[in-house]
Amino acid sequence: MTPSQRVHAAYARLAQGERPEAWITLRPLPDVLADAIAVDPTLPLAGQLLAVKDNIDVAGLPTTAGCPAYAYQPSRNAPAVQRLVDAGAIVLGKTNMDQFATGLVGTRSPYGVVRAVADPARVAGGSSSGSAVVVALGIADLALGTDTAGSGRIPAAFQGIVGLKPTRGLVPVEGVVPACQSFDCVTVFARTLGAAAAAMSVMSDPLPADAPLAAPPSPVVAVPHRDELTGMSPEWLDAFEAATKTLSAAGVTLRPIRLSPFLAAARLLYGGGFVAERYAAVGAFIDEHPDEVDPTVRGIITAARDIPAHVLVADTARLSRLRAAAMAEWGDADALLLPTAPMHPAIADVAADPVGVNSALGTYTNFCNLFDLCAVAVPAGIGVQVIARGYADAVATGIAALLVQERPPAPVGGLRLAVFGAHLTGQPLNGQLTAPGGRLVGAIRTAPEYRLYALATRPALVRVEHGGAAIEGELWELPAAALGPFLDRLPAPLVLGKVRLDDGSAVTGFLCESVAVLDAPDISSHGGWRTYLESS
Q: What is the DSSP letter of 89?
A: -
- Please give the Cα distance from 421 to 442 (Å, whole number): 15
Please say whether the beta carbons of 14 and 83 come within 8 A. no
Query: C-alpha angle 90/91/92, rounded to 5°?
Result: 115
- Please give the Cα distance from 100 to 297 (Å, whole number): 8
**Count of residues for the chain?**
536
Q: What is the pLDDT of residue 486?
A: 74
Q: Would 3-404 and 414-535 be classified into the same CATH topology?
A: no
Q: Which residues are the active-site residues?
A: 53, 127, 151
Residue 391, sorted as left (phi over 0), alpha (psi -120 to 50) or beta, turns out to be left
- Please give the Cα distance from 482 to 431 (Å, whole number): 13
Q: What is the pLDDT of residue 205?
A: 87
pLDDT in tens, 177-207: 999 999 999 999 999 999 999 999 889 987 8
- For the sheet with 374-380, list strands across it: 23-26, 90-95, 49-53, 142-146, 186-190, 162-165, 374-380, 382-388, 335-339, 220-223, 253-256
**Which residues lie below 8 Å from residue 297, measured CB to CB, with a gap of 6+?**
98, 99, 100, 102, 103, 108
What whole-number percentage of the chain has pLDDT above 70?
A: 98
Please say whether the beta carbons of 275 and 180 come within 8 A. yes
Q: What is the pLDDT of residue 207?
A: 80
Domain locations in the chain as residue ranges: 3-404, 414-535
Q: What is the pLDDT of residue 167?
A: 97
**What is the pairing mode between strands 374-380 and 253-256?**
unpaired
Per CATH, the number for 3-404 is 3.90.1300.10
- Divide the 536 residues of the chain into consecutive groups of 10 and give the mean pLDDT of each group: 96 94 98 97 92 98 98 98 96 98 98 98 98 98 98 98 97 96 96 94 84 87 95 96 97 97 94 91 96 96 93 95 98 98 98 96 97 98 97 95 88 79 93 82 93 91 95 87 73 89 90 90 96 90
pLDDT in tens, 110-166: 999 999 999 999 999 999 999 999 999 999 999 999 999 999 999 999 999 999 999
Give which of 125, 269, 280 is closest to 187, Cα–Cα.
125
- Please give the Cα distance from 139 to 136 (Å, whole number): 8
Q: What is the pLDDT of residue 160?
A: 98
pLDDT in tens, 435-494: 877 778 889 999 999 999 999 888 999 999 999 999 999 999 887 667 777 777 788 888
Q: What is the pLDDT of residue 414?
A: 66
**What is the pairing mode between strands 186-190 and 142-146?**
antiparallel
Q: What is the pLDDT of residue 196?
A: 96
Q: How far is CA 232 from CA 239, 266, 343, 360, in A?
A: 11, 17, 6, 10
Q: What is the pLDDT of residue 411?
A: 64
Give which of 29, 20, 236 is closest to 137, Cα–Cα.
20
**Architecture, CATH, for domain 414-535:** Roll (3.10)
Q: How far is CA 199 from CA 84, 176, 217, in A?
A: 7, 18, 25
- For residue 118, the tally of other CB atoms under 10 A from its CB is 11
- Give the orientation angle of helix 393-404 with respect to helix 193-203, to 10 degrees: 160
- For residue 469, the tally of other CB atoms under 10 A from its CB is 18
- Please give the Cα distance from 424 to 434 (Å, whole number): 11
- Please give the Cα distance from 5 to 227 (Å, whole number): 51
